[in-house]
């Protein structure tokens, strides 16, 4: 297993169930290590889509990747509050400095007032059929979406007030110190 290091820069690669690359981010800085999850930060990071298009993220983000949960959480620090983009996805692995996971289409968008919306149900249904997701995978993903919604409602981890702001301050200190 790869030795994790606070302040180290990692890449992120998101794949589809069929093994094809979906999207890649060129940087995520490790901020904190927990038994069940890792917390990263990035800002104005280059993103490369599977078709080769590139763009940069607009705002700072705090990212939670889980060892055993089938989702990841991205807290986006915007002018009018914290928004969350949560991917229903396989637990992560890290190989050669790259965080890797399988994206399973379903997403949860959480707004600053705590309201949320499930996104991409049609895409999920299409890919489920196209890529032959098993009944077991389908069950796990739907159960994990419910778990994620419960975390939002109970304000756990990333959804706890001021959590993203506090990790963003840690991110700025780490990036400042490592760039000198």
Which of the residues are catalytic? 23
Place of tokens 């419910």: 146
Q: Which residues lie closer than 8 Å to 129 by C-beta, 6 or more apart? A: none
Judged by DSSP in three states, 115 sits in coil
C-alpha pair distances (Å), 103 with each of 19, 42, 66, 90, 141 = 10, 19, 13, 7, 11
- Comparing C-alpha atoms, which of 126, 120, 118 is closest to residue 145? 118
CA neighbor of 106 nearest in space, from 141, 73, 79: 141
């Amino acid at each position: 297993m790869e030795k994790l290091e606070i302040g180290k820069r990692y890449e992120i690669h998101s794949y589809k169930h069929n093994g094809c690359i979906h999207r890649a981010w060129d940087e995520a800085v490790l901020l904190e290590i927990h038994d069940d999850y890792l917390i990263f930060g990035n800002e104005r990071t280059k993103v490369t889509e599977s078709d080769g298009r590139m763009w940069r993220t607009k705002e700072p983000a705090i990212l939670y990747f889980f060892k055993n949960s089938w989702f990841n959480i991205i807290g986006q620090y915007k002018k009018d509050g914290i928004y969350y983009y949560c991917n229903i996805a396989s637990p992560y692995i890290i190989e050669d400095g790259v965080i890797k996971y399988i994206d399973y289409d379903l997403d949860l968008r959480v707004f600053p007032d705590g309201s949320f919306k499930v996104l991409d149900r049609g895409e999920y249904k299409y890919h489920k059929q196209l890529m032959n997701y098993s009944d077991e995978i389908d069950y796990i993903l739907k159960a994990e979406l419910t778990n994620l919604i419960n975390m939002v409602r109970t304000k756990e981890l990333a959804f706890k007030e001021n959590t993203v702001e506090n990790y963003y301050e840690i991110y700025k200190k780490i990036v400042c110190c490592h760039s000198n």
